[in-house]
């Protein structure tokens, strides 16, 4: 029987809440019910990091600590996890955590509004790494904004953690916490509260039964897109089915022909795995939102949004990926190229869900991808491009090109591909291919970029790709 109470660990105790509001954010709960006001609200859309908290999740006999944005996390998804707030970092004898001490010593705070968020992001880094190199530090705090201190003292504080004792009070309490997490970690949830419903099944079989009866429910994975209906549009979501408790769907498999990524696999785990096969895929994911976003967001969620500027989508299109769709009775495999119908419209039917994504492994191909956005970190693309090709005897033998940000859906550049296929790479051919992009796309102007800028960028990225192939090195300010 599913339970109507969620259980989580906070301050070494199991907290139980009966029938929580499915649309309440974790941030609201922390500040107004737990009365812990260290965690701040800035943007309410996952963009500033002021609300960062850390969640502890059971992984084998260990705890995996992940930083998340509490402003876009729904409270019921806390079930089965440990909640760590900035207040919890101080030990019982009132001594500061090494991360807090470092921030004080290096003058990492001025007005202090962003500080709890930075401390929690750095705490998560402290727990996950043994060495704190510049790239790890910058990746760890890319999702946190500071308006007054500036980042140098914060980076200095992070670097100084390398010399600190890693045995904090969480390590000392680990055995007890692991035992508690095991105790609370395996219930399914069904909540009915004031006309709102929330389900968190643990198995695909359970999910199918729920969808049969509640086909019009919204599927919730990382919630980094869906939750904004509540926090930004100020609307309620009546019925939610939370996918990420289903461990069966949290996997990455490989049969040497394709990589299969289960729907509830986080982008963070995927970005590490894909690096070996497609380094440029990893490079794009490193600039995808922030660690807080990638710790929970999924490829399945990104595909289902069908956003024209979803960063995975042009890459998956160029790689000829397939989507495994699962209905209550049948499953279906669909090329991703056939999945997007119109602006934010897909072939996904009511009661269906994305089970997994299959990404072919092309050993001999050249795969390149580029993201252009106004800011390097934590920004949505203006244009994203992906190129997958084989060159033999100086001729392009196979080619797939896809762009995001150039049409109402992420889309292949068919006319451009036709010009390039079976051609040698000459200036004349590249110029023709660039012109063909005008036939492929008629981009709009919006707050991210004008139509003219998008067209120029799309052409320049094509040129950059072939320049890099011929010169065998990356070209540009950043690659
Ligand atoms: C601060 C911030 C930065 C961001 N940066 C980027 C970025 O750089 N690049 C980018 O592309 N996106 C970005 N996004 C958008 C968002 O993070 C992505 O679209 C993300 O991949 C969504 O995944 P999710 O698991 O969080 O989906 P959710 O929000 O849980 O769901 C999104 C949609 O997918 C549906 N859905 C979820 N799982 C499934 C499933 N298994 N089957 C069928 N439907 C499903 C949901 O019903 C919903 O309609 C950003 C968002 C924020 C808030
Ligand atoms: S309040 Fe800005 S990320 Fe949550
Ligand atoms: S210290 Fe003021 S915003 Fe960072």
pLDDT in tens, 397-421: 999 999 999 999 999 999 999 999 9
Q: Is the pLDDT of residue 289 over 60?
A: yes
CA distance 302 to 316: 11
Q: What is the pLDDT of residue 478?
A: 55
Regarding the beta carbon of 42 and ligand 2, being less than 6 Å apart is answered yes
Q: What is the pLDDT of residue 1?
A: 87
The rounded percent of the chain whose pLDDT value lies above 70 is: 99
- Tell me the HSE value of 36 on the side-chain side, using a 13 A CA sphere: 19
The ligand 3 atom nearest the CA atom of 146: 4
Regarding the beta carbon of 449 and ligand 2, being less than 6 Å apart is answered no
Q: Is the pLDDT of residue 217 over 70?
A: yes
Report CA(351)–ligand 2 centroid distance (Å). Answer: 32
Token readout for 408 is 């109402």
Regarding the beta carbon of 50 and ligand 2, being less than 6 Å apart is answered yes
Per-residue b or e along 140-164, where b marks 16 or more CB atoms closer than 10 Å to that residue's CB: bbbbbbbeebebebbbbbbebbeee
Ligand nearest to the CA of 149: 3
Is residue 204 exposed (0-12), middle (13-18) or buried (19+ Cβ within 10 Å)?
middle
Of the chain, the end-to-end C-alpha distance in Å amounts to 52
Is residue 333 exposed (0-12), middle (13-18) or buried (19+ Cβ within 10 Å)?
exposed
Regarding the beta carbon of 120 and ligand 2, being less than 6 Å apart is answered no
Check if the beta carbon of residue 309 is closer than 8 Å to that of residue 404. yes
Pairing mode, strands 322-326 and 258-262: unpaired
Q: Which of 49, 198, 225 to mutate to test the pocket of ligand 1 (most atoms within 8 A of CB)?
A: 225
* Residue whose C-alpha is closest to residue 227's, from 431, 23, 453, 468: 23
What is the average pLDDT value for the chain, to the nearest integer?
96
How large is the average pLDDT for residues 108-123?
A: 97
Report CA(51)–ligand 2 centroid distance (Å). Answer: 5
Token readout for 159 is 């670097």
CA distance 344 to 355: 19
Q: What is the pLDDT of residue 3?
A: 96
pLDDT in tens, 292-325: 999 999 999 999 999 999 999 999 999 999 999 9
Q: How confident is the model at residue 477 (pLDDT cuts 50, 70, 90)?
A: low
CA distance 23 to 73: 9
For residue 440, the SS3 value is helix
* Residue whose C-alpha is closest to residue 55's, from 31, 30, 37: 30
Q: How confident is the model at residue 166 (pLDDT cuts 50, 70, 90)?
A: confident
* Residue whose C-alpha is closest to residue 52's, from 136, 114, 109: 114
> 259 - beta bridge partners?
254, 359
Token readout for 376 is 């390097």
Token readout for 436 is 């063909």
3-state secondary structure 297-360: CEHHHHHHHCCCCCCHHHHHHHCCCEEEEECCCCEEEEEHHHCEEECCEECCCCCCEEEEEEEE
Is residue 187 exposed (0-12), middle (13-18) or buried (19+ Cβ within 10 Å)?
middle
How large is the average pLDDT for residues 377-394?
A: 94
Report CA(390)–ligand 1 centroid distance (Å). Answer: 32
Ligand nearest to the CA of 448: 1
Q: Is the pLDDT of residue 429 over 90?
A: yes
Regarding the beta carbon of 110 and ligand 3, being less than 6 Å apart is answered yes
Q: Is the pLDDT of residue 439 over 60?
A: yes
pLDDT in tens, 136-160: 999 999 999 999 998 999 999 999 9
Token readout for 454 is 């998008």
Give the CA distances from residue 123 to residues 96, 202, 268, in Å, rounded to whole numbers and listed in that order. Answer: 12, 29, 17
The ligand 2 atom nearest the CA atom of 72: 4
Cα 296–chain centre separation: 6
Q: Which of 110, 116, 144, 152 to mutate to test the pocket of ligand 3 (most atoms within 8 A of CB)?
A: 110
What does residue 378 show for φ and ψ, rounded to 5 degrees? 45, 50
The ligand 1 atom nearest the CA atom of 313: 11
Q: What is the DSSP string of 240-269?
A: EEE-TT-GGG--EEE-SSEEEEETT-BHHH
Report CA(273)–ligand 3 centroid distance (Å). Answer: 35
Q: How confident is the model at residue 165 (pLDDT cuts 50, 70, 90)?
A: confident
Q: Is the pLDDT of residue 479 over 60?
A: no
Which residue, by CA, sits nearest to atom 43 of ligand 1? Answer: 353
Q: What is the pLDDT of residue 59?
A: 92
* Residue whose C-alpha is closest to residue 359's, from 327, 400, 394, 397: 400
Report CA(278)–ligand 3 centroid distance (Å). Answer: 38
pLDDT in tens, 326-357: 999 999 999 999 999 999 999 999 999 999 99
How large is the average pLDDT for residues 174-187?
A: 94
Ligand nearest to the CA of 113: 3
Check if the beta carbon of residue 243 is closer than 8 Å to that of residue 74. no
Q: Is the pLDDT of residue 96 over 90?
A: yes
Check if the beta carbon of residue 93 is closer than 8 Å to that of residue 113. no
The ligand 2 atom nearest the CA atom of 292: 3
For residue 142, the SS3 value is coil
Give the CA distances from residue 362 to residues 105, 148, 187, 424, in Å, rounded to whole numbers and listed in that order. Answer: 50, 47, 41, 21
Q: What is the pLDDT of residue 377?
A: 87
* Residue whose C-alpha is closest to residue 170's, from 9, 372, 318: 9
Check if the beta carbon of residue 189 is closer than 8 Å to that of residue 200. yes
Helices 152-160 and 98-105: crossing angle in degrees, nearest 10, is: 130
What does residue 219 show for φ and ψ, rounded to 5 degrees? -80, 135
Regarding the beta carbon of 467 and ligand 2, being less than 6 Å apart is answered no
What are the structural domains of the chain? 5-87+174-242 (3.10.20.30), 92-167 (1.10.150.120), 252-360 (3.30.465.10), 366-471 (3.30.390.50)
């Amino acid at each position: 029987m599913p339970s109507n109470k969620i259980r989580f660990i906070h301050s070494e105790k199991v907290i139980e809440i009966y029938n929580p509001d499915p649309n309440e954010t974790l941030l609201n709960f922390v500040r107004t019910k737990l009365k812990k006001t260290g965690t701040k609200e800035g943007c309410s859309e996952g963009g500033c990091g002021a609300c960062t908290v850390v969640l502890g999740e059971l992984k084998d006999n260990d705890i995996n600590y992940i930083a998340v944005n509490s402003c876009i996390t729904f409270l019921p998804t806390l079930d089965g996890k440990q909640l760590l707030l900035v207040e919890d970092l101080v030990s019982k004898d009132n001594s500061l955590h090494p991360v807090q001490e470092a921030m004080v010593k290096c003058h990492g705070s001025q007005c202090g509004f962003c500080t709890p968020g930075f401390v929690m992001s750095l705490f998560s880094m402290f727990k996950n790494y043994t060495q704190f190199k510049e790239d790890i530090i910058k990746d760890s705090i890319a999702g946190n904004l500071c308006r007054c201190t500036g980042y140098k003292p914060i980076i200095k504080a992070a670097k100084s953690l390398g010399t600190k004792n890693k045995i904090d009070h969480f390590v000392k309490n680990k055995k007890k916490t692991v035992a508690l997490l095991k105790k609370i970690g395996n219930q399914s949830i069904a909540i009915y509260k004031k006309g709102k419903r929330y389900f968190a099944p643990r198995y695909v079989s359970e999910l199918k039964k729920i969808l049969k009866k509640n086909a019009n429910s919204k599927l919730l994975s990382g919630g980094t897109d869906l939750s904004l209906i509540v926090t930004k549009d100020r609307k309620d979501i009546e019925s939610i089915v939370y996918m990420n408790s289903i461990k069966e769907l949290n996997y990455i498999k490989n049969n040497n022909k394709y990589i299969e990524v289960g729907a509830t696999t986080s982008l963070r785990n995927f970005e590490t795995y894909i690096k070996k096969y497609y380094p440029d895929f990893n490079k794009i994911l490193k600039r995808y939102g922030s660690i807080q976003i990638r710790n929970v967001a999924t490829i399945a969620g990104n595909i289902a949004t069908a956003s024209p500027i979803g960063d995975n989508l042009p890459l998956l299109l160029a790689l000829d990926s397939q989507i495994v769709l699962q209905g209550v009775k049948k499953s279906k495999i669909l090329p991703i190229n056939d999945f997007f119908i119109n602006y934010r419209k897909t072939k996904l039917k009511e009661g269906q869900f994305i089970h997994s994504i299959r990404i072919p492994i092309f050993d001999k191909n050249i795969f390149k991808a580029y993201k252009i956005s106004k800011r390097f970190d934590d920004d949505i693309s203006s244009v994203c491009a992906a190129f997958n090709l084989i060159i033999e005897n100086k001729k392009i033998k196979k080619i797939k090109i896809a762009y995001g940000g150039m049409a109402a859906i992420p889309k292949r550049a068919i006319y451009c591909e036709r010009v390039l296929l079976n051609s040698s790479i000459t200036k004349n051919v590249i110029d023709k291919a660039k012109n063909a992009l005008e036939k492929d796309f008629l981009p709009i102007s919006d707050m991210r970029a004008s139509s003219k800028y998008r067209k120029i960028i799309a052409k320049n990225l094509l040129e950059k790709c072939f320049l890099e192939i011929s010169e065998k090195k990356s070209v540009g300010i950043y690659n």
